Copies of this chain bind each other. A is one copy, B any other.
Amino acid sequence: MSFTQKSSNKNFGGELRKYSFKSKTLGDLETNINVFLPSEAVSGGKKVPVLYYLAGLTCTEDNGAQKGGFQQEAAKQGIALVFPDTSPRGAKIEGEDDSYDFGSGAGFYINATKAPWNKNYNMYDFITKELPEVLKSNNLPLDLTKASISGHSMGGHGALTLYLKNPSLYKSASAFAPICHPTKCPWGEKAFSNYLQGGVGEGKANDATELLLQAGGPDKRKLNILIDSGLADNFYNDKQLLPEDFAKAAMDQGYTDEHITIRLQDGYDHSYYFISTYAPEHVTYHAKFLKA
């Protein structure tokens, strides 16, 4: 499927480009992505590694690009950033736009198995399969064999689960205030019971904590995960995020700080002011694996 370039803005010596294309996986709906290319990719045509950033509930491809503060360090490291949207748009399913935490803006990075959602709400396949194929077939100067993934909140859940489920696709994962145990929190319960035929039970296959409990420890699989989560985050206090469950699973599986670093940050909340504070460190973290 070929891209339409909707805009391009020079940014930190590179370019922030917005593309749109009709997505097969999302039921032939148009979707937008933002791609940041560092200067060596724009002018030198050099193929650079890729960091995907999955945004959270209510967000689009723009939030991370405009407010995340990732580009300065990505430009320095010579890494591209890919910012997809958070759900299909305009599927015209009844109730799609009724709540902020389900439907539009809330695809949860899973494949829906329940009608009518299963026709369009396939963000898992979109991010892991169609998006890299489309980036490749449009000849962007990206080395897609070197990819890592990050995300915020619902997108943090996405980054962790996609990474845990696809050992060969991503070198590392990081997350800002991720939903760590969706089968045990209201957001996840709502999403899984409405998107999935098998409800919350079926959701376990898309739950970072449950997946980590099956990872088998560092002898079976090395993991590179960095998580930052704020202690003044309302959603943390409301038990939507549950990083403690993910930390416990890590310990149970024998993973140490060398593999999984979870930092609870004093005073920080759920906003992009939090994300932008730690975004440069996350880019640096991924660069270590992407450029290894």
A→B interface (CB under 8 Å): 9-13, 16, 66-67, 69, 71-72, 230, 232, 267-269, 271-274, 276-277, 280
Chain B residues in 8 Å Cβ range of A66:
66-67, 272
Contact B69–A11 (Cβ < 8 Å): no
A121 to chain B, nearest CB (A): 29
Count of this chain's copies in the oligomeric assembly: 2
Contact A10–B280 (Cβ < 8 Å): no
Chain B residues in 8 Å Cβ range of A267:
10
Chain B residues in 8 Å Cβ range of A16:
273
Chain B residues in 8 Å Cβ range of A271:
9
Q: Contacts A16-B273, A67-B67, A273-B16 given: A280-B9 contact, CB under 8 Å?
A: no
Question: Most chain-B Cβ atoms within 10 A of its Cβ — which of A72, A268, A274, A277?
Answer: A277
Contact A273–B232 (Cβ < 8 Å): no
Contact B269–A9 (Cβ < 8 Å): yes
Chain B residues in 8 Å Cβ range of A69:
69, 72, 276
Contact B272–A10 (Cβ < 8 Å): no
Chain B residues in 8 Å Cβ range of A71:
273, 276
CA distance A280 to B10 in the complex (A): 16
> What would be 15 A-B contacts, judged by CB atoms less than 8 Å apart?
A10-B230, A10-B267, A10-B268, A10-B269, A10-B274, A11-B273, A11-B274, A12-B276, A16-B273, A69-B69, A69-B72, A69-B276, A71-B276, A72-B72, A72-B276
A35 to chain B, nearest CB (A): 13
Question: Most chain-B Cβ atoms within 10 A of its Cβ — which of A11, A72, A274?
Answer: A11
Chain B residues in 8 Å Cβ range of A274:
9-11
CA distance A273 to B13 in the complex (A): 10
CA distance A211 to B66 in the complex (A): 35
Q: Name the residue on B nearest A42 (C-beta).
A: B267
Chain B residues in 8 Å Cβ range of A272:
66
Q: Name the residue on B nearest A9 (C-beta).
A: B273
With A12-B276, A66-B67 known, 5 other A-B pairs at CB within 8 A are A9-B269, A10-B277, A69-B69, A69-B72, A69-B276
Q: Name the residue on B nearest A279 (C-beta).
A: B72
Contact A11–B72 (Cβ < 8 Å): no
A8 to chain B, nearest CB (A): 9
Q: Name the residue on B nearest A12 (C-beta).
A: B277
